[in-house]
Structure 1
Amino acid sequence: MSLLKVSGLGKSFGGVKAVDGIDFEIAAGELLALIGPNGAGKSTTFNMVNGQLRANAGSIRFDGHELVGLRPRQIWRLGVGRTFQIAETFASLTVVENVQMALLSADRKLFSMWRRAGDYRRADALALLEQVGMAGQADRPCSVLAYGDVKRVELAIAMANQPKLLLMDEPTAGMAPGERNELMALTKRLVVERGMAVLFTEHSMDVVFAHSDRVIVLARGRLIAEGTPLQIRDHPKVQEVYFGTGKTFEKAAKKEAA
């Protein structure tokens, strides 16, 4: 059964169709990669699911709710989390305080002044950090962390609302190959343990082929292919869109991993 079902989704900017009638679904416990060359419509699709952009056409059904027309905050409260291409944390706060702030927001107490954030659900915050391997650095300021560790903290923050669906925008951008695969292996483990779904955009084909369950491919706003990583890697239309008639995904992935 689908947790997220996108049907006939479209978005135009003036006379340009950035997304042109695409359909796809995600089930609970599934990690779905959304890929495509620059200008394919990935970010537009992603931002429509998140509510940052409103679709001109189509439907986005999530867990029985229509998302088209809802604001990002409303969608978040329904159980859709998000991480960003550039990790967003409060650098002046400690690791655990960042997660506590997310818990305050999830509990709708972010603007309540009756309790200090440092006292709020610390045990729950530490439990989330334990899941992402950051409990040992809980009391360090985020400003001194390595970038890969900041991305782990951001993941813990995104989990504070107990999302059923997690949207990850270029989750491994700026990371070394080893860090990329560690983060996505961690994400895959959380998907299995929590039974949630993940939709992620990604340029690193080694990450896509190693960690996704399925892949959908956009080009010029249209969905041109959908399937397992193996099916997508060998798909002639996808090869043509990305590389013309020369280079292959296998060669590109080996180059990235080098």
Structure 2
Amino acid sequence: MSLLKVSNLGKSFGGVRAVDGITFDINPGELLALIGPNGAGKSTTFNMVNGQLRADTGSIKLDGHELVGQPPRKIWALGVGRTFQIAETFASFTVAENVQMALLSADSKLLSTWRRAADYKRDEALALLDKVGMVAQADRPCSDLAYGDVKRVELAIAVANRPKLLLMDEPTAGMAPKERNDLMALTKQLVIKENMAVLFTEHSMDVVFAYADRMIVLARGRLIAEGGPEDIRNHPKVQEVYFGTGKTFEKKAEAEEAS
């Protein structure tokens, strides 16, 4: 049974139809990549699932719960986590305190002015950091970390709420090829271990083809293709939309690896 079911989703801005009646689903334990050229409607779709934008038409159901019309906080409470293109952490807090703040939020508790995050569920925070390979740096301020490590901390923060579905917006943006692969391999491990689903947008085709179980491809707000990596790699419409006639994803991936 599908965890997330998106049906006939649509959104307009003025006279522009940014998303035009798309339908897709995601299963537990699956990484689904949402890809397409600039202006395809990826961000609009992503933000409707997250509740930042309200759909004009259609339905978004998580485990049977309708998400359309729900605020982001309620959607988060129903089991949807999120990471962002630019990692968001409290730079002056330690790595552990950042995760402890997420645990406080997950437990719907307010941090009193006299109470530090360091006093709350430290063992649980350390266990989450261990999952992402950051437990040894638990007491360092986030401001001291390399960017790839900040992204790992952000991942620990995102899963503190034990989400059923994790939304990842350009998770490897700004990262070197090795960092990209390390982060996505780690994400894949968490997906399998926690039976969590991931919907992610990504411009790096090497990441998409290496780690996505399935892909959905948008162009001008419409879904033009859906399938596994090989189906998408060889889809003539997708190649035409992305690269023009005669070009291939292999050439794109090779260029990215060389950069």
User: Is residue 134–residue 149 contact of structure 1 (8 Å, CA) maintained in 2?
Assistant: yes
Partner Cα separation in structure 1 for residue 126 and residue 92 of structure 2: 18
Q: Does residue 211 of structure 1 match 2:208?
A: no
Deviating beyond 2 angstroms after TM superposition, the runs of 4 or more aligned structure 1 residues are 110-116
Q: What is the CA distance between 1:248 and its match in structure 2?
A: 1.1
Contact (CA 8 Å) 1:52, 1:71: kept in 2 or not?
yes
Unpaired segments ≥5 residues, structure 2: none
Question: Could you tell me which amino acid in structure 1 is paired with residue 78 of structure 2?
Answer: L
Preserved CA contact (<8 Å) 2:111 2:117: no
The unaligned stretches of length 5 or more in structure 1 are none
Q: What is the distance in 1 between the residues matched to 2:113 and 2:255? A: 52
Q: Where do residues 174-253 of structure 1 align in structure 2 (5 Å cutoff)? A: 174-253=174-253
Residue 125 of structure 1 aligns to which amino acid in structure 2?
A
Distance 2:203 2:246 in 1: 19
* Structure 1 Cα separation of the partners of residues 113 and 92 of structure 2: 19
2:85 aligned partner: 85
1:66-81 aligned within 5 A: 66-81=66-81
Deviations 1:187-216 (A, max 9, x none): 000000000100000000000000000000
User: C-alpha separation between the residues in 1 aligned to 2:63 and 2:89?
Assistant: 28
Q: Number of aligned pairs? A: 258
Following TM superposition, by how much is the alpha carbon of 1:64 offset from its aligned partner in structure 2, in angstroms? Answer: 1.4
Is residue 110 from structure 1 mapped to residue 110 from structure 2 by the alignment? yes
Output the TM-score relative to the length of structure 2: 0.98
Checking the alignment, whether the CA contact within 8 Å between 1:101 and 1:110 is kept in structure 2 is: no
Q: Which residue of 2 aligns with 1:63?
A: 63
1:107-139 deviation line (CA, Å, top 9, x unaligned):
111344574311100000000000000000000
Q: What does residue 138 of structure 1 align with?
A: 138
1:30-53 Cα offsets, whole Å, 9 max, x none, are 000000000000000000000000
Structure 2 residue aligned with 1:34: 34
Seq. identity, %: 81
Moved more, 44-53 or 248-257: 248-257
For 2:45 and 2:208, how far apart are their aligned partners in 1? 18
- Further displaced range: 113-122 or 39-48: 113-122
Q: What is the letter of the counterpart of residue 243 of structure 1?
A: F
| Deviation of the 1:247 alpha carbon | 2.3
**1:227 & 1:164 partners in 2: Cα distance?**
22
* In structure 1, C-alpha distance between the alignment counterparts of 2:226 and 2:18, rounded to whole Å: 19
Shift of 1:245: 1.1
Counterpart of 2:243, as a letter, is F
C-alpha displacement at 1:255, in angstroms? 1.0
Partner letter of residue 8 of structure 1? Answer: N
CA distance in 2, matches of 1:219, 1:116: 47
Q: Which residue of 2 aligns with 1:12?
A: 12
| Equivalent position amino acid for 1:145 in 2 | L
**CA positional deviation for 1:73:** 0.4
In 1: Cα distance, 2:165 partner to 2:5 partner: 12
In 2, Cα distance between equivalents of 1:77 and 1:113: 24
TM-score by length of 1: 0.99
What corresponds to 2:43 in structure 1?
A: 43
In structure 1, distance between residues paired with 2:175 and 2:115: 37
Give the SS at the match of 2:217: strand
> Could you tell me how far apart the structure 1 residues matched to 2:142 and 2:115 are?
22
Q: Which amino acid aligns with 1:234?
A: N
User: The residue matched to 1:172 in structure 2 has which SS?
Assistant: coil
Q: How far is the alpha carbon of 1:76 from its aligned partner?
A: 0.2
Find the aligned partners of 2:157 and 2:169 in 1 and give their Cα distance.
Answer: 15
Deviations 1:158-205 (A, max 9, x none): 011000000000000000001001100000000000001000000000
- 1:217·1:223 contact (CA, 8 Å) conserved in 2? yes
- Name 1:97's counterpart in structure 2: 97
Question: Pairwise CA RMSD of aligned residues?
Answer: 0.8
